[in-house]
Amino acid sequence: DVKVTQSSRYLVKRTGEKVFLECVQDMDHENMFWYRQDPGLGLRLIYFSYDVKMKEKGDIPEGYSVSREKKERFSLILESASTNQTSMYLCASSEAPSNQPQHFGDGTRLSIL
C-alpha cells in the first residue's frame, strides 16, 4: 500500500512565523501535491511538483512556497503565517502520468494564532 506521511497531525503557530509542513511518500511516485481543505470550499490546490526540483503553482499559491529536493519529500512553507492560513493541509502523491489517482496523507490541521 502507498504510504503518504505528513510530519504533524496538529500544529499551532503564531502570526508572522515561518512554518514548514513536511510530506514523505514511500512509493517512488513522480508527482506530489499540496492542498488545503476548508469547509464549503473543498480541496484547493496550492502547489504541485512533477519531478525533483520542479514546482508549479496551483490555484491558490499566494503566501506559500514549496521545496522538492528529493523525490520522496515535498515541503510546504508558509513564509509569514497569517490567520487566514488556518486550515487542514493535505499532501498527495501519484504515479506518472499526471492523470493517475492521487494518494493522500492524513492531513495537518494548522492553527495560526
Partner 1 sequence: GQNIDQPTEMTATEGAIVQINCTYQTSGFNGLFWYQQHAGEAPTFLSYNVLDGLEEKGRFSSFLSRSKGYSYLLLKELQMKDSASYLCAVFSGSARQLTFGSGTQLTVLP
The residues binding partner 1 (CB under 8 A) are: 4, 33, 35, 40-45, 48, 50, 56, 58-59, 90, 98-99, 101-107
Q: Among residues 48 and 78, whose Cβ is nearest to partner 1?
A: 48
Q: d(Cα 105, Cα 55) in Å, to the nearest integer?
A: 19
The C-alpha cell at 27 is: 512509493
- On whether the CB atoms of residues 15 and 23 are closer than 8 A, the answer is no
Q: Among residues 4 and 110, whose Cβ is nearest to partner 1?
A: 4
Rounded to a whole number, what is the largest CA-CA distance in the chain?
39
| CB of 104 vs partner 1, minimal distance in Å | 4
Q: Among residues 50 and 111, whose Cβ is nearest to partner 1?
A: 50
